[in-house]
Amino acid sequence: MATESPVLFEMENIHKIYEGNNVYANKGVNLSVNKGEIHAIVGENGAGKTTLMKILCGLESPDEGEIRFNGKPVTIRSAHDADTLEIGMVHQHFCLFDGFNVADNVVLVQEPRKNGLFYDSAAAAMKVEELGIKYNLPVDPKAPIETLSVGEKQKVEILRILYRGSKILVLDEPTALLTEQEIKDFFVTLRQLKSLGYTIIIITHKLDEVTEISDRVTVMRNGELVDCCITAECDKQGIARMMVGKEVLLQVDKPDVTPGKTILSINELSLTVPGFSRPILKDISLSIREGEIVGMAGVSGNGLSDLENVLTGMSSRGEVSGEAMFHGKNIANAHPSEIREMGMAYVPADRLHRGTSAELQLSDNLILLEHHEMTRAGVLQGKGIVAFVKDLLHKYNIGGHHATPVSNLSGGNIQRVVLSREFSREPNLLVVSEPTWGLDIVSSEFVYQKIVEMRSSKTAILLISANLDEVLALSDKVAVIYRGEIVGVFANTDLDRESLGEYMLGLKRQSKDEIQLGIEA
């Protein structure tokens, strides 16, 4: 008998602003989830999917908005409140304790007791084994967590929320780290849980999975809900279009620059890491010329950050083959000191841990690349340093004093610190990764303006970014990376978000010849 599923819960007009960078994570989001459905939430990085779910699970508190369960308003202030409402979340990065076995991890907080006092590990193992059989999630309850594969760890995470009696399962990018086979098994489990009456919310940005597993799909963009539809009634292209949106917010004035000679030439660069079934980077070829910005676009998890690490010498994991020629030298996985000496500047995505040292004062952060020249007989030249630092603080309008610790600065100012240091050396090659992540509009515009200035002064620039607007506004040429491979190279003449989005999400790819033509153009 087909009955209409009643609405299980609704989130209405949810607002959330993260302090510190004043970015809207959620802006009036309305979400309604039916009982017993698999509901996919899709969107680009930073679209606010995870924030919304954290609010549902009591891990973040909304600034505004209401949550209703079965029509009744509820307040979810803590994970405990979520527990009472039978909501459980599996985070993208697993929260399991190494050094304990599977059963210990599953029963945590609700351990079976002996005589009401002592932990009963035998009973725990038995319960977990039963649970595993019941839900077709077989894992050895006695196995130490650190010996499990990613797929098994995920089973443990799911067992954990099932053990706690959750009826609503929130899964944040559950397939990001799984192999093909593990994904298949995982979907079988999801269908089975659904048939048992569980409600499942799955956050993802893989469209294949959305169409395969979900009943309904909600699309988010820039903290807002774009649409919610029945999966069977919409096509991948339509979803992709909604995800990337139409409007281009950014206008950056780029003067005409004729590209000069090739500075960086990447040839069939690959990266394989033990434990991963497919290469993290595969046969990447690309070249960048003087005065040219090449944008590398992709959804996170497809190899953007690995490319960043390999090119800048910050990666020590895995094996690299192929080459990245810079001034006639292969810099793939070379030591940063060599690469730096050759004149590469690098603005890392992780500006807080890599781009700056929070506990050191501004001057110590700013002289990182200059301090060799500022040393006489082993002693740093205080006067020269103060003058140099003052000059940078002034030129880049950094709010602070040379002795201010970087930890006291705002996000925008911290990025200015990184830019001023990297750009002041007049580099001939610049690698910029996610330069405006988490920054407000004013700071972002400043960053764009500075990058364009570097282009005018004939620097070859590689822009790595998951932010399409940024890639489109700045790049002369755009390469799209999907699953570690370049799937398209385009001159940035009349590109639009929609078509690029299709490449980023793996719906389309160019032929080898087309890619080759694009690289050479």
For 37, the 3-state DSSP assignment is coil
Half-sphere exposure (Cβ direction) of 319: Cα atoms closer than 13 Å: 7
Q: What are phi and psi of 111, to 5 degrees?
A: -70, 140
Residue 312 CA to residue 430 CA, distance in Å, equals 10
Which residues, 6+ apart, have CB-to-CB distance to 144 below 8 Å? Answer: 98, 99, 100, 101
Torsion of CA 14, 19, 21, 23, to 10 degrees: 10
The answer to whether residue 19 forms part of the interface with another protein (CB under 8 A) is no
Half-sphere exposure (Cβ direction) of 216: Cα atoms closer than 13 Å: 18
The answer to whether residue 348 forms part of the interface with another protein (CB under 8 A) is yes
Number of CB atoms found within 10 A of residue 144's CB = 14
Site for another protein in 242-271 (CB under 8 A): none
Q: Which is nearer to another protein, 211 or 357 (CB)?
A: 357
Among 109, 380, 386, 517, binds another protein (CB under 8 A): 380
How far is CA 405 from each of CA 352, 400, 435, rounded to the nearest angstrom? Answer: 12, 9, 21
Site for another protein in 22-61 (CB under 8 A): none
Q: Which is nearer to another protein, 407 or 516 (CB)?
A: 407
Among 300, 357, 410, 424, binds another protein (CB under 8 A): 357
The answer to whether residue 206 forms part of the interface with another protein (CB under 8 A) is no
The answer to whether residue 166 forms part of the interface with another protein (CB under 8 A) is no
Q: Which is nearer to another protein, 407 or 449 (CB)?
A: 407
Supply 190's token pair: 């999801």
How far is CA 154 from each of CA 101, 121, 164, 302, 304, rounded to the nearest angstrom? Answer: 14, 21, 16, 20, 24
**8 A C-beta contact, residue 107 and residue 163:** yes
Supply 343's token pair: 């004149």
Helix axes 497-504, 236-244, angle to 10 degrees: 120
Helix axes 441-456, 411-423, angle to 10 degrees: 10
The answer to whether residue 356 forms part of the interface with another protein (CB under 8 A) is yes
The answer to whether residue 408 forms part of the interface with another protein (CB under 8 A) is yes
Residue 374 CA to residue 424 CA, distance in Å, equals 15
Number of CB atoms found within 10 A of residue 180's CB = 10
Length of the chain (residues):
521
Among 123, 234, 273, 360, binds another protein (CB under 8 A): 360
Q: How far is the CB of 193 from another protein (least distance, A)?
A: 40
The helix (run of H) or strand (run of E) holding residue 159 is helix 150-163
Among 123, 126, 229, 314, binds another protein (CB under 8 A): 314
Helix axes 121-134, 150-163, angle to 10 degrees: 100
The answer to whether residue 21 forms part of the interface with another protein (CB under 8 A) is no
Among 261, 353, 383, 512, binds another protein (CB under 8 A): 353
Q: How far is the CB of 419 from another protein (least distance, A)?
A: 14
Site for another protein in 482-511 (CB under 8 A): none
Q: How far is the CB of 24 from another protein (least distance, A)?
A: 24
Among 368, 424, 510, 519, binds another protein (CB under 8 A): 368
The answer to whether residue 413 forms part of the interface with another protein (CB under 8 A) is no
Among 372, 494, 511, 512, binds another protein (CB under 8 A): 372
Site for another protein in 73-92 (CB under 8 A): none
Map tokens 């090119």 to a residue: 311
Q: Which is nearer to another protein, 47 or 334 (CB)?
A: 334
Q: Which amino acid is at 192?
A: Q
Q: Which is nearer to another protein, 303 or 355 (CB)?
A: 355
Q: Which is nearer to another protein, 260 or 399 (CB)?
A: 399
Ramachandran region of residue 348, left (φ > 0), alpha (ψ -120 to 50) or beta?
beta
Q: How far is the CB of 339 from another protein (least distance, A)?
A: 8
Q: How far is the CB of 99 from another protein (least distance, A)?
A: 16
The answer to whether residue 404 forms part of the interface with another protein (CB under 8 A) is yes
Size of interface with another protein, in residues (CB under 8 A)? 36
Q: Which is nearer to another protein, 26 or 312 (CB)?
A: 312
Q: Which is nearer to another protein, 89 or 344 (CB)?
A: 344
Summarize as ranges the residues that interact with another protein (CB under 8 A).
312, 314, 335-341, 346, 348, 353-360, 364, 367-369, 371-372, 375, 378-380, 382, 400-404, 408
